[in-house]
Amino acid sequence: MFNWMRNKRMFVLMIVFILFVAVLGFSISDRKKLSWPENFIMDSTGFLQELIYRPAGYILGLFGDLANLQEVYKENEQLRITAAAYARDKINYNQIEQKNIELMEALEFTERQKGSNKYKYLIAQVVSSSTDPYNPTIRINLGSKDGIRTNMVVVTTKGLVGLISRVDPFYSSVMPITELDVRSPDSKGIAATVLKEGAAQEEQESFGIIDSYDKDTGMLMMSKIAESDKLKKGDTIITSGRGNVFPYGMVIGTVENRQVGDFGLTHTATIEPAADFEKLTNVFVVQMPNMEENEQ
Amino acid sequence: MSMQRIIVVMLLFFLSEGTIFYWLLPDSLTGRVVPHFILAFVLFAAIYRNRHTALILGLSFGLLQDLAFYGKIIGVHSFTMALVGYTTGLLMERRRSTMLMAMSMIVMSTLVYDTVVYFIYSVFKLTHGTFEWALLHHILPSLFLQIGFSLALYVPIRRWFESSGKKKSDEEEE
């Protein structure tokens, strides 16, 4: 019944199966550098997708805009008001910045301390977006040649969108923060705090870690909040910048409610994300000044 | 239509999945209706050509999809598409394939494909939803798209695969 032909086929099948399990297990890890075939395929598909995504976005986005012209008009109105406020604040800001620099000089700050809050915002165009529900990766057109590294933060004008998960020479993959999960093997937590008007980075009191996303309710979960913490509903949550992995001050969302955590020792809060994750065209990659030094 | 042309058409459909199709889909349906255009081509290849073509197409285009959107893991789509393509080819080898037969085969295979993908992701702990949730959330909605897509392109794709396969299939029968 089992002639040698069948057996050979069986054998090949087993080898292929084992090979696949090995590849799956290997690719899941946190890899800093990708091999050249991966780079080649990722870059060339990225290039071709880039040619399609933008025109499609423009044309279909135009139809969307025409459909809700009334809202666009309102949005325009609001933008004008913000622009006016911006012009006023800019003057104020320039004065304060000047003063800040003078004070830093007077207090003899080191170069590293001076530059620690100077983030570079690299603008990137979205090239394509995965439709796989388990892996909603967004591809952007900046890569390692532009100074992108893994774990850099990606934001839009509204707030935090995701983290860079894979980098190849000219394009890179962004993992949206909707994929954060404590239980996953590559789980990441973002240290977060409450935005307070007129408080410095060191004076932040609240602390928690954004580490998962509830797909059913569309809310982020912030855990490890101390019981005595003053965090309350309606607060704006920003990244705290502690640990120097993620930058300080990126808006994550607003607190929806707060409850006692699983073990009763700490509290958790549900946070409504500020950014949209659908149909993105332009995003910013935040480059931290000390990140490059660490790499070298 | 030669195999090279079919591959070019498949590439175009692959590129449209993450770009044009993504923009055409309303916001509320993204992540729920998942396009499986490449899988449809692979299944047509399995039904109207032979299982080896389906195996190779599934393996290579699956790998392309894995790499193009590499975020977590490589090889899920490659493995599953090759597996589903090959088994469909094996089942349909000695049968006359009518349109109804082909359609029911595509529906079954797409369901099997999504199920296997779900289980691979859950074995590696990359998804934590239950299977019922996955079924209702995206597997069934995307099945409707798959039926619509394969019905719309049934006639041309069948013609392409059958016309390009005639010369070769005679030799392979022996």
User: Which H or E element spans position B114?
Assistant: helix B99-123
Highest averaged pLDDT of the listed ranges A60-74, A281-295, B132-146: B132-146
CA distance A129 to A135: 10
State the sign of the Cα–Cα–Cα–Cα dihedral A89, A94, A97, A98: negative
| Binary contact (A60, B23; C-beta < 8 A) | yes
CA distance B167 to B174: 13
| Binary contact (A134, B117; C-beta < 8 A) | yes
Question: Each residue of A104-120: pLDDT tens digit?
Answer: 888 887 777 777 677 88
The DSSP result for A173-227, as a single string, is EEEEGGG--TTSTT---EEEEE--TT--GGG----EEEEEEETTTTEEEEEEE-T
3-state secondary structure of A1: coil
Angstrom distances, CA of residue B93 to CA of A194, B89, B102, B103, B166: 63, 6, 12, 16, 15
pLDDT higher than threshold 50 for residue A41: yes
Q: Which of A159, A162, A168, A224 is nearest to A41 (CA)?
A: A168
Interface of A with B in 4-33 (CB under 8 A): 20, 23-25, 27-28
For chain B, domain boundaries: 35-168
* Average confidence (pLDDT) over B147-169: 80
pLDDT higher than threshold 60 for residue B171: no
CA distance A137 to A127: 11
Taking contacts as CB-CB distances below 8 angstroms, the residues of chain B near A128 are: 18-19, 22, 68-69
Q: Which of A253, A249, A248 is nearest to A290 (CA)?
A: A248
pLDDT higher than threshold 50 for residue B174: no
pLDDT higher than threshold 60 for residue B168: no
Nearby residues of B140 by Cβ (< 8 Å), 6 or more positions away: none
**pLDDT score recorded for residue A200:** 55
Confirm or reject contact between B144 and chain A (CB < 8 A).
no
Task: Give the bridge partners for A210, in sequence order.
Answer: A190, A222
Q: Which of A42, A136, A185 sits opposite B67 (nearest CB)?
A: A42
**pLDDT score recorded for residue A290:** 62
Nearest chain B alpha carbon to A129 = B18
* Reported pTM: 0.84
CA distance B47 to B106: 9
User: Which H or E element spans position A43?
Assistant: helix A36-67
Confirm or reject contact between B151 and chain A (CB < 8 A).
no
pLDDT higher than threshold 90 for residue A294: no
Question: How far does the CA of residue A178 sit from the closest CA of chain B (Å)?
Answer: 12
Question: How far does the CA of residue A186 sit from the closest CA of chain B (Å)?
Answer: 9
CA distance A156 to A176: 12
Question: Each residue of A130-146: pLDDT tens digit?
Answer: 888 888 899 999 999 99
pLDDT higher than threshold 60 for residue A95: yes
* Average confidence (pLDDT) over B28-41: 88
Confirm or reject contact between B137 and chain A (CB < 8 A).
yes
**Which alpha helices (DSSP H) does A68-215 contain, by range?**
69-106, 111-115
Mean of pLDDT over chain B? 87
Task: Give the bridge partners for A97, in sequence order.
Answer: none
Amino acid sitting at position A120: K
Would you say B54 and B46 are in contact if contact means Cβ atoms under 8 Å apart? yes
**pLDDT score recorded for residue B9:** 92
**pLDDT score recorded for residue A86:** 92
pLDDT higher than threshold 50 for residue A215: yes
Lowest average pLDDT, out of A198-202, A206-210, B112-116, goes to A198-202
pLDDT higher than threshold 70 for residue B173: no
| Binary contact (A185, B125; C-beta < 8 A) | yes
Confirm or reject contact between A137 and chain B (CB < 8 A).
yes
Nearest chain B alpha carbon to A38 = B67
Would you say A267 and A261 are in contact if contact means Cβ atoms under 8 Å apart? yes
Please count the CA atoms within 13 angstroms of the CA of A162 that sit on its side-chain side.
26
| Binary contact (A183, B128; C-beta < 8 A) | yes
Confirm or reject contact between A173 and chain B (CB < 8 A).
yes
What interface predicted TM-score (ipTM) does this complex get?
0.84
pLDDT higher than threshold 70 for residue B71: yes
* Average confidence (pLDDT) over B148-165: 86
